Amino acid sequence: MEAYTFETERLGMRPAHIEDAAFVLELLNTPKWLSYIGDRKVYTEEDAVQYITSKMLPQFEEKQFGNYIVIRKEDGKKIGCCGLYDREGIEGVDIGFAFLPLYEGKGYGYESASKTMQYGKEVHRITTVSGITVKENIESQRLLEKLGLTFIKMITLSNDTEAVMLYRKTTHHA
């Protein structure tokens, strides 16, 4: 039985680890990831191990939150990722999500992202959540809006040339 950091009725979420390399390799090379997020130059399992080690694990060590692998509890399948990212140039944390094509359109994005935001607020006292997406990614825009984020403006992040849509939601502690 997998140990989850947090879960919903259908999904369990836990930090990415090196054993997820084959899954990360597959996810980062899906057509939507490449079109909407970008080529991360992860072409082999060794590249995926390096990506997990250099991009995913350090934020957990520093902030105690980051990229969570989303696992379907009914069969233990790794179906996507969802996380809170400390991204330069973005106020608060950035909520991000991506799923394998087979698992899109089934509500897993909303289910995992809303639980991730709740976890961030309750455990890490995160009150401002931002989201970024390219104009072409209508599904991502709809999900950000369903999560309660509002479009703010177009921004260009450092080291990027393409402007992205910035969404934000600020909540207060009870």
Lowest mean pLDDT among 49-58, 89-98, 111-120, 165-174: 165-174
Secondary structure (3-state) at 55: helix
What does the pLDDT read at residue 161?
A: 79
CA–CA gap between residue 26 and residue 147 (Å, rounded) = 26
Q: At residue 108, what are phi and psi to the nearest 5 degrees? A: -65, -35
What does the pLDDT read at residue 2?
A: 67
CA–CA gap between residue 170 and residue 65 (Å, rounded) = 18
| 101-to-15, 21, 32, 92, 142 alpha-carbon distances in Å | 21, 18, 8, 29, 17
Strand order in the sheet with 11-15: 6-7, 11-15, 67-72, 77-85, 93-99, 128-133, 164-170, 150-155
Model confidence pLDDT, tens digit, residues 135-161 = 999 999 999 999 999 999 999 987 777
What does the pLDDT read at residue 24?
A: 97
Task: Name the CATH architecture for the domain at 6-126.
Answer: 3-Layer(aba) Sandwich (3.40)
Model confidence pLDDT, tens digit, residues 57-81 = 999 999 999 999 999 999 999 999 9
| Over residues 73-93, mean pLDDT | 92
pTM of the shown model: 0.93
First to last CA, the chain: 34
In the chain, % of residues over pLDDT 70: 98
| Over residues 33-46, mean pLDDT | 94
CA–CA gap between residue 95 and residue 13 (Å, rounded) = 14
| Runs of H (alpha helix) within the chain | 21-28, 31-32, 45-51, 57-63, 108-124, 138-146
| pLDDT mean across residues, the chain | 93
Q: Which amino acid is at 116?
A: T
CA–CA gap between residue 148 and residue 171 (Å, rounded) = 10
